Chains A and B, each alone.
Chain A
Amino acid sequence: AQTVTQSQPEMSVQEAETVTLSCTYDTSESDYYLFWYKQPPSRQMILVIRQEAYKQQNATENRFSVNFQKAAKSFSLKISDSQLGDAAMYFCASTFKAAGNKLTFGGGTRVLVKP
């Protein structure tokens, strides 16, 4: 079974500053995938970034980047140059090849952006 843990219930960041969200996971699979999903107050969840476990290079999408530490089973998300629109719940999630679209989610981190 996979588990995903987000230890920060809430994080606050000043506009234009950087914030890092923590995520740890546990899995016995070798071929797995990690994700960060964003759920704004309107509730529609969107994929922010995706990382394949076999890739050593950290994924990056514009202002969003991850720090994937495979040995430590850590997968943190860095939001650079924070914008008001970044305010949302952020969920870390994992799946493995055979599980397909069955994602295991962490409890979420609420990000507040101060103008």
Chain B
Amino acid sequence: KAGVTQTPRYLIKTRGQQVTLSCSPISGHRSVSWYQQTPGQGLQFLFEYFSETQRNKGNFPGRFSGRQFSNSRSEMNVSTLELGDSALYLCASSLAAAGAGTGELFFGEGSRLTVL
């Protein structure tokens, strides 16, 4: 069974640009969560989608958005990039929906974003 796939793996952008990251969950998983990982702030929850609906959202500005498609693939978008958005963005999929509370996540290898 294929794992969680994230694309692109690495990307470099400049301030003010926007970026779209993609995540394909494990087959059969309908929940997709996104996390930002930085040396200073650690791992922080961005949002979770289940059946194309955002079920939970972290404390990030509106520049961070996401969506989920009918095949459970998810994208996240960051507009008007800032230097502080440089991070590893991790996607995780799960069998359980938000509210089921299992927390058993399967992570992808991440997308490393560098903002210059």
A-side residues, CB < 8 A to B, are 31, 33, 35, 37, 42-47, 50, 91, 93-108
Q: Bound state CA distance, A93 and B42, in angstroms?
A: 12
B-chain residues with CB within 8 Å of residue A93 when the two chains form the complex: 103
Name the residue on A nearest B108 (C-beta). A44
Name the residue on A nearest B94 (C-beta). A101
B-side residues, CB < 8 A to A, are 3, 31, 33, 35, 42-45, 48, 55-56, 58, 88, 90, 92, 94, 96-110
Q: Which of B42, B43, B92 contacts A101 (CB 8 A)?
A: B92
Q: Which of A31, A43, A106 contacts B88 (CB 8 A)?
A: A43
Q: Bound state CA distance, A105 and B35, in angstroms?
A: 10
Q: How close is A2's CB to chain B, nearest CB, in angstroms?
A: 11
A-chain residues with CB within 8 Å of residue B44 when the two chains form the complex: 105
A-chain residues with CB within 8 Å of residue B45 when the two chains form the complex: 102-104
Name the residue on A nearest B100 (C-beta). A100
Q: A105-B43, A107-B42 are in contact. Are A98 and B101 (CB under 8 A)?
A: yes
- Check A102–B56 contact: CB distance below 8 A: yes
- Check A101–B98 contact: CB distance below 8 A: yes
Q: Which of B42, B58, B98, B107 contacts A46 (CB 8 A)?
A: B107
Q: Which of A97, A101, A108 contacts B105 (CB 8 A)?
A: A101
Q: Bound state CA distance, A93 and B43, in angstroms?
A: 10
Contact sample, A vs B, 26 pairs, CB 8 Å cutoff: A33-B101, A33-B102, A33-B103, A43-B110, A44-B109, A45-B92, A45-B105, A45-B107, A46-B107, A91-B43, A95-B101, A97-B99, A97-B100, A99-B98, A100-B96, A100-B97, A101-B31, A101-B92, A101-B103, A102-B45, A102-B56, A103-B35, A105-B42, A106-B42, A108-B42, A108-B43
